Structure 1
Amino acid sequence: FVNWGLFVLIVLAVLLFKSSSNLAAAYGIAVTLDMLITTVLTFFVIRYAWGYPLALCLAATSVFFVVDLAFFSSNLLKLADGGWFPLLIAAGVFTVMLTWKDGRRLLNKKLAADAIDLTSFLEAVFVSPPTRVSGTAVFLTAAPGTVPNAMLHNLKHNKVLHEVNLFVTVVNHEVPWIGMNKRLELEALGHDCWQVVVNYGFKNEPDLPRALQLMTGRGFELDPMSTSYFLSRDTIAPTLSGGMAHWREKLFAQMHLNASGAANFLKLPSNSVVELGSKIEI
């Protein structure tokens, strides 16, 4: 979708400017601004990531900054002749990215405010337990120790609890690789319920069923044929009293609706996935 979208926008840009000479102003601003941003980011990397002295960082980047700023300033003279085009694209992309970031923050804040402690909830449930059915239920939850919305809806509407219940949180770390020996963190909650944290590096390829097979021999046996994966499919409801402008909340709601599902990302078997929806106001 992104590739085809870029193709359409490129065709529209060519039709709008009609010639490469008309695109020169847009190209100049795009390149010089990219050079300027790279220089600024270089300063932050060598200063705050690598920890070099401030004086050395300023000396290493200030010359490039002055040169890049001079090039960018001179290209601003062509702003009305097509230089506005890359700035308009940048503003649009930045708005979409910032809306997604702020929307996720508001969504997580709302979910955290409404979260129920998992251990206390299970203790209350097993005082008068519902009917237990055979098989394993895997409930995905964003934060360990909280009750997944999918479980609440399953108990409310189906009034049953599986024989074995796994409460799984997938954590993506800011390291390239996490070995299989550190993939799982297990905590027994009693009554055949387990809290599971699955760890991935950003270069690991997520595969939740494969990761859960690592539980074999650690006090638990997972049978893929009798395992069901319960996911919460949240629908965002914008409100006038939210933390963003109303149009940004509507944009985030549409982006969230079109986002790829967790089932495909985690390679869950399609014939074993149960999605239970809920509406969340932000």
Structure 2
Amino acid sequence: MAFAGNDGEAGPVEQPSQGEAAQHSTKVLMIGALGVVYGDIGTSPIYAFREALHASGDTFIREDVLGVLSLILWALTIIVTVKYVAFVLRADNKGEGGTLSLMALARTAYPAGSKAILVIGLCGAALFFGDSVITPAISVLSAVEGIEVVTPTLDAYVVPITLVILALLFSVQKFGSGRVAVVFGPIMAIWFLMIGLAGLVHIWDDPSVLLAVNPYHAVIYLFNEPDVAFITVGAVFLAVTGAEALYVDLGHFGRRPIVLTWFSIVFPCLLLNYFGQGAYVLSRGIVPDMPFFEMLPSWGIAPMVGLATAATVIASQAVISGAFSLTRQAVQLNLLPRIEVQHTSEMQLGQIYMPRVNFIIAVAVMLLVVGFGSSSALASAYGISVTGEMLMTTFLLFVVMRWMWKWQLAGALALAILFGVIDLGFFSANVVKIAEGGWVSITVACVMGLIMATWIRGSRYLFDKTRRNEVPLDFLAGNLLKKKPQLVAGTAVFLTSDPTSAPTALMHSLKHYKVLHEQNVILSVVTAPQPTVPDAERVKMETINPLFMRVSLTFGYMEQPNIPRALAICRKQGWKFDIMTTSFFLSRRSLKASPNSGMPTWQDKLFIGLARSAADATEYFQIPTGRVVEIGTQVAI
């Protein structure tokens, strides 16, 4: 028992209870969620209300403002509070979230619809990449545009300043977000308090703005001017962009902190700011260019521009990190070729950096900033990718509700139709903006979808072709046991994607060297439809005969495969694995296009290009380079 003295008297030091520790942990996670989960949706007030009101025209009546505010309020309520907080967050895959996690969950729940679910998941993932390109561009650009309110003479410097900030943002990715993550939450906490306070002050300019709580105003606005309202709906959706981050970052913070943060801080502060902007507009009777900044006192504009810039950088950081995580999941699920992954933290597995992905996103973002030049122009390009991704989430959620949660068809269908109609309405309102900039989202999503579809299709053709030419492993092992070639000391590990067939590297080794190791392991790496796999389920071993053994290593789609570390677990199962007496044999295929592949020639060439760009297997599986032997083969696909 530990004691501490007070006025010469000793007494026991009270240790925090488990409940107090959990409460403290929840508070810490809530602050972290503010910086990562809610960065995107938290910066939407800068441009969402402005764009929605401008869509109504240069002139407006009181009912227009109330209608727009009512639409924003109920969009936030139904999409974020009901759909994501109440339902989607419950569809966790072993604690992890995101489009591909939900896809894996749905495919497990309903195997009969596996192919259709895969297509839906691919569409959702492709659309997220479109979001990850546009979010940094529009967020940072909209914040920097605030300097135009300080002084119009700085107008010409908005784009250059934005490019400098973005260049710095992408250049520091290699250091990892862990070192700066501790300040993300506090900065966003200040941001939400400031925007909430700014809105609260201006609500008193015209308290009648609170009437917009009544959904009657949203309905009347939609029916009175359907043509204008349809365009406005597309702009209103900007208020809920970032809602998908609640699900994507589920694994980092857990459901409870995300839900508590939404109801206690984010939702109230967002509503206060939107209603404050509405009251400011009503009291002046004009449509300001930037109501978010213009309603601030003159002395507060410059500090708010700085705070807004920091907040949008944080929002961009969250989306970029999400793109890294999604790419790694896609690689693990064999939807993309191997891509170099650098871990930026020894403590957090989720903190990773992908140089190639970072470079591609950086170039695309900067081209968008230069090409569009303003956040208003970019707003037209923003909605399609996010609305499309939300629509895919609704489809996948229906599968989970019906076949995993065992809901009655009527209940699952009713909820899916409610969410689907709203998502489809927002998607339709944004589709009409294709010519104005929406083509950017469509282009990015189509390119990513084509790449993933090509990789899946090409990998299947390559697997089928090589399998036809391979010898069954059990047959070969039996023959080699009867008529042994020259045996050499040590262990040979042959990596293969098909554990039932003799690996190409083994066949070429026998053909050219005419020797066999005393112990030969046919090793395959499997990705489980869950984020992580416990060590107890990591390794499966099967002895074929005294010369051969079949080993399967299973990793979750959120884990980075480490073969030597996983093989060390084999010691518990009787195999005395020693990395220093083990040689790893890998097949390096040289692919050639073939007219009989089943794919068009251009897709053959695309697949071959993707295969050549894949990260080195030795580094990807973290095998010591000094223990690897690569044997090259040529394959026509």
TM-score by length of 1: 0.91
Q: Is the 8 A contact 2:481 2:547 kept in 1?
A: no
Q: Deviations over 1:180-209 (max 9, x none)?
A: 333322222334322222233334443222
Cα distance between partner residues in 2 of 1:43 and 1:216: 44
In the TM superposition, what are the counterparts of 1:199-238 in structure 2 within 5 Å?
Answer: 199-216=554-571, 218-238=573-593
Cα distance between partner residues in 2 of 1:195 and 1:175: 23
Amino acid at match of 2:410: A
Q: Which residue of 1 aligns with 2:527?
A: 172
1:184–1:173: structure 2 CA closer, same or farther, 3 Å change rule?
Answer: same
State whether structure 2 residue 598 is matched by structure 1 residue 243: yes
State whether structure 2 residue 457 is matched by structure 1 residue 97: no
Counterpart pick for 1:38 among 366, 372, 393: 393
Aligned partner of residue 365 in structure 2, secondary structure: helix
Q: Which residue of 2 aligns with 1:79?
A: 434
In the TM superposition, what are the counterparts of 1:124-273 in structure 2 within 5 Å?
Answer: 124-216=479-571, 218-273=573-628
Q: CA deviation at 1:36?
A: 2.8
Q: Deviations over 1:102-134 (max 9, x none)?
A: 111111212222221112112223443222112
Amino acid at match of 1:144: P
Cα distance between partner residues in 2 of 1:79 and 1:184: 50
Cα distance between partner residues in 1 of 2:394 and 2:566: 41
**Worse overlay, 117-126 or 133-142:** 117-126
Aligned partner of residue 465 in structure 2, secondary structure: helix
**Worse overlay, 249-258 or 120-129:** 120-129
Q: CA deviation at 1:28?
A: 3.0
Q: Which residue of 1 aligns with 2:119?
A: none
> Which runs of structure 1 show a deviation greater than 4 angstroms over 4 or more consecutive aligned residues?
none
Aligned partner of residue 82 in structure 1, secondary structure: helix
1:89–1:120: structure 2 CA closer, same or farther, 3 Å change rule?
Answer: same
State whether structure 2 residue 416 is matched by structure 1 residue 56: no
Cα distance between partner residues in 2 of 1:102 and 1:39: 26
Across the aligned residues of Structure 1 and Structure 2, the Cα RMSD in angstroms comes to 2.0
1:36–1:164: structure 2 CA closer, same or farther, 3 Å change rule?
Answer: closer
Amino acid at match of 2:389: D
Cα distance between partner residues in 1 of 2:373 and 2:558: 42
Cα distance between partner residues in 2 of 1:66 and 1:215: 52
Q: Is the 8 A contact 2:385 2:445 kept in 1?
A: no
Q: CA deviation at 1:265?
A: 2.5
Query: Greater helix share, 1 or 2?
Result: 2
Q: Which residue of 2 aligns with 1:123?
A: 478
Q: CA deviation at 1:219?
A: 4.7
Kindly name which structure, 1 or 2, has the bigger radius of gyration based on alpha carbons: 2
Structure 2 unaligned regions, length at least 5:
1-355
Q: CA deviation at 1:148?
A: 0.6
1:153–1:75: structure 2 CA closer, same or farther, 3 Å change rule?
Answer: same
Count of aligned pairs: 282
Q: CA deviation at 1:73?
A: 2.0
Amino acid at match of 1:99: T
Query: Greater strand share, 1 or 2?
Result: 1
1:163–1:60: structure 2 CA closer, same or farther, 3 Å change rule?
Answer: same
1:73–1:228: structure 2 CA closer, same or farther, 3 Å change rule?
Answer: same
Amino acid at match of 1:274: V
State whether structure 2 residue 463 is matched by structure 1 residue 108: yes
Counterpart pick for 1:88 among 429, 443, 455: 443
Structure 1 unaligned regions, length at least 5:
none
1:26–1:131: structure 2 CA closer, same or farther, 3 Å change rule?
Answer: same
Q: Is the 8 A contact 2:477 2:547 kept in 1?
A: no
Cα distance between partner residues in 2 of 1:250 and 1:36: 33
Amino acid at match of 2:604: E
**Worse overlay, 205-214 or 55-64:** 205-214
Amino acid at match of 1:232: S
Higher relative contact order (CA 8 A, sep 6+): 2
Aligned partner of residue 51 in structure 1, secondary structure: coil
Cα distance between partner residues in 2 of 1:39 and 1:222: 47
